[in-house]
Structure 1
Amino acid sequence: MIHLLLSILFSTGLFVIFKYFGIFKVDVLKAIFVNYIVAFTMGFAFAENSFSIVEIPNKPWFLGAVFLGALFVSIFFVMAMTAQRNGVSVTSVAGKMSVVIPVFFGIFLYNESVTVLKFVGIIIALVAVYLASVKEEKSENKKAGLLFPILLFLGSGVIDTTLKYVEVMYVPENEVSIFSGSLFGIAAFFGLIILLIKSIKKREPFGVKNIIAGIVLGIPNYFSIVFLIKALQTKGFESSTLFTINNVGIVVVSTIVGILLFKEQFSTKNKIGVALAIVGIVIVALA
């Protein structure tokens, strides 16, 4: 349970850091690239056992790491496009509601338990995520399509589902850091390609500010993934339960941090969502 709690706290830290990115006008793409380099380095530095880099392509989880690394970068861009075209609230809801995908696969692929109490808890949690995430904002683009929100919903869900599948099938407990480091290294590679393409169109200095921001982001990003994988490896802890508690927990903690740290305003709908989220977490945990 401690691993899940730490994953929620570090994941919430990412939202806080992204908030400051906007305040300090950080180039997000450059910071994301540096963040992947930092997380990649930490993964190899904290490796549970000795290894050779040339062995990594032969690891059974390598192709899964390549797929996830590419998805990490792709979903980042989809998230940015969704926020620009459909608004922040739609982005938040689409990302968090994607929890239904790993929950569905957890139940049907791994034969996880389905009780009335658990079902009710998951439904309450989903309603809570929507109510807590949606903001009273006016979209500048009234005709914004559903393509990017749908891609964000599917992509976020596929990331969680694939992470669970690769962890169950191929990642031993003593290779979590190596797997995580490789995953981030591959994401950094794809990020570098995108940066090089952008630099051809428009050359500009990288900026010390973006490097510092990337380092600050990379540390909690690494630990959020490592602790999530370790939580998934906890015996007797079903993924459908874990992903529900994880996503809803992030929404609750992020909401509290937003109120206390950034003095954000929350509607009655948001407050009801947070209250329901706590109820949902308790029910799912008890189930």
Structure 2
Amino acid sequence: MFYLLASIVLNTILFVLFKFYSRFGIDNLQAIVANYWTCVVTGCLVLGDFPVSVASVDESWLPWALLMGSMFFSVFNLIAYCTVKEGITTTTVANKLSLVIPVIFAPFLYGETLGAIKIAGILVAFPAVYLTTKVEDHGRKTQELLWPILIFVGSGLLDTMVKYVQAFHVKSDAELVSFTIHTFVVAGTAGLITVIVQLLRGKIRLHWKNLLAGIVLGIPNYFSIYCLLHFLKSGIMHSSAAIPVNNIGIVLLSALIAILFFSEKVTKLRVVGLILSILAILLIALGDLNGTGV
């Protein structure tokens, strides 16, 4: 249970940090790149070794690390942008309601039951995302609605792959840490290439405060993945329940902090969307706990 609580708190910290970064003029791109290399260093300290070598090509999980690392960089940038533009609550719900995607895959990958209650939760999740991300602004651009949707899809696919790799490709704690380090190396490399291109084009300038912000972000980011993987590995719940329980905690804590400390706008639509998001997650978790498939 420790890993569950730690995952909730650490993930919430990430959203809060992005909100602060916008106030202090932090370049999210530079901070995110520094964050991933901080994750690499943190992982190596935990493992006591730097596991990336020629021998890595023999690991069955390496293709997944390459794919997931690239996706982590892209989705994390979207989360940073959306947190600033759309707010913590909208971004968190779009990010965490993506749990419907791994739930849909669970019966095919792990033979888990997908009964009527879970299906009801999945169906409720979609209007929840729409209502939470919708604001009463008729001049809003359609393109802006795409960011939460892209976060929803990208995060869901990442959650699915995290559980799949943990279930079929990672056999020990040391291998678990090694896999996460490889994933962060890929994400950091993709980010470094992006920064170099932007520098050469004169689009950005390096600043020490962005590096410092990335270090502050990287430590909780590494341990958020570390704790989630250990929670899934514990086997306390099926993946179709473990991820919803984890995500509902993040949604509630993030929404509470956004309202209390950031004075985010609370509209009727967002309240309904937030209530529906909680209902969706509870239905999916209840469907798993019932174990009846109905």
What TM-score range do you get, normalising by the shorter chain?
Answer: 0.7 to 0.9
- What do the CA deviations read for 1:179-198 (whole angstroms, capped 9, x no partner)? 11221111101101111111
Check 1:176–1:226 CA distance in 2 against 1; reply closer, same or farther (3 A cut): same
- The equivalences for 1:155-174 within 5 A come to 155-174=154-173
Instruction: State the shift of 1:53 in Å.
Output: 3.5
Q: Give the Cα–Cα distance (whole angstroms) in 1 for the partners of residues 138 and 17 of structure 2.
A: 25
Contact map agreement 1:27 1:210 (CA 8 A) in 2: yes
Instruction: State the shift of 1:249 in Å.
Output: 2.4
Instruction: State the shift of 1:237 in Å.
Output: 1.4
**What is the letter of the counterpart of residue 239 of structure 1?**
S
Instruction: Please identify, of 237-246 and 114-123, the stretch whose mean Cα deviation from structure 2 is larger.
Output: 114-123
Coordinate RMSD, CA, aligned = 3.1
1:230 is aligned to: 230
2:3 is aligned to: 3
TM-score (norm 2): 0.82
Q: Give the Cα–Cα distance (whole angstroms) in 2 for the partners of residues 94 and 275 of structure 1.
A: 14
- What do the CA deviations read for 1:109-148 (whole angstroms, capped 9, x no partner)? 21112344444455556655555x3352426554538766
Check 1:280–1:141 CA distance in 2 against 1; reply closer, same or farther (3 A cut): closer
Q: Give the Cα–Cα distance (whole angstroms) in 2 for the partners of residues 127 and 231 of structure 1.
A: 29
1:153 is aligned to: 152
- The equivalences for 1:92-107 within 5 A come to 94-107=94-107
2:114 is aligned to: 114
1:64 is aligned to: 64
**What is the letter of the counterpart of residue 156 of structure 1?**
S
2:15 is aligned to: 15
TM-score (norm 1): 0.84
Q: Does 1:263 pair with 2:251?
A: no
Instruction: State the shift of 1:258 in Å.
Output: 0.8
- What do the CA deviations read for 1:149-207 (whole angstroms, capped 9, x no partner)? 65443322211111111111111232222211221111101101111111110065411
Q: Give the Cα–Cα distance (whole angstroms) in 2 for the partners of residues 83 and 50 of structure 1.
A: 35
2:209 is aligned to: 209
Contact map agreement 1:3 1:230 (CA 8 A) in 2: yes
Instruction: Please identify, of 58-67 and 29-38, the stretch whose mean Cα deviation from structure 2 is larger.
Output: 58-67
Q: Give the Cα–Cα distance (whole angstroms) in 1 for the partners of residues 180 and 60 of structure 2.
A: 14
| Aligned pairs, number | 284
Identity of aligned residues (%): 38
